[in-house]
Amino acid sequence: MRLSRAASRYAKAILSLAVDKNEAAAVNEDMKSILATISNNKDLRNFLTSPLVNAENKRAGLRQIFKATNGISMSLYDLLVDNKRTDILSDVAASYIILFEEMNQREIATVTTAVEISPELEQKVLAKAKELAGKEVSLEKIIDPSIIGGFVLRVGDREINASVQNKFGELKRTFAN
């Protein structure tokens, strides 16, 4: 995932503040919630990126939608609204999560499957991800029916693509030659 430099800078600043106040874990949970909410809601994405919505409406909207969040997270909303950067809120949240995991010597592994995976299979995938990373790993699961079957495991800059879609692509390239 390619995140903007500005998002990374905001995330570093928020992480630094959260660490100073011993609230980094709570803010991390807020960022996970923010990322999931924005990712799953097109209207919210449009609201955050629209130049037609004024700053005070954006501030009030963010405070209402994420009213259960930490004070540090609330200050992030205000900062982004004041700087007219609400469009990067999801990138800031994603960047914060990555920085938080790195700070705790953990890495985020992403497994993409066509259907929900069983808990037994999840444990096997987690073990393989730990082996690849060489450190503690948290697993993020994504369901994407377009891969047809199998899985795609990403750990850092490594990828294991055992999807049916990938196998079809390999067959197509073989027959094309």
3-state SS, residue 112:
strand
For 28-39, the pLDDT digits (tens) are 999 999 998 998
Whole-number Å distance between alpha carbons of 149 and 147: 6
Clarify whether residues 91 and 128 are in a common domain.
Answer: no
For 14, residues 6+ apart whose C-beta sits below 8 A from its C-beta are 27, 72, 73, 76, 92, 96
Give the pLDDT score at 61: 92
Nearest-5° angle of CA 157, CA 159, CA 161?
165
Clarify whether residues 24 and 90 are in a common domain.
Answer: yes
Clarify whether residues 27 and 94 are in a common domain.
Answer: yes
Clarify whether residues 41 and 118 are in a common domain.
Answer: no
Q: Which of 102, 123, 156 represents a domain boundary (last residue)?
A: 102
Region 157-165 average pLDDT: 87
Give the pLDDT score at 78: 92
* Structure tokens that stand for 128 in this block: 């393989």
Residue with tokens 């390239």: 173
Clarify whether residues 151 and 81 are in a common domain.
Answer: no
Q: Which of 102, 129, 151 represents a domain boundary (last residue)?
A: 102
Region 148-170 average pLDDT: 87
Clarify whether residues 81 and 42 are in a common domain.
Answer: yes
Q: Is the dihedral of CA 142, 147, 150, 155 positive or negative?
A: negative
Torsion angle, alpha carbons of 135, 141, 144, 149, to 10? 70
Domain residues for the domain of 93 are 5-102
Q: Which of 102, 125, 147 represents a domain boundary (last residue)?
A: 102
Tally of domains in the chain? 2
Beta strand 136-143 pairing with 106-113: parallel
Q: Is the pLDDT of residue 119 over 70?
A: yes
pLDDT bin (cut points 50, 70, 90) of residue 105 is confident
> What's the CATH number where 34 sits?
1.10.520.20
Give the pLDDT score at 143: 86
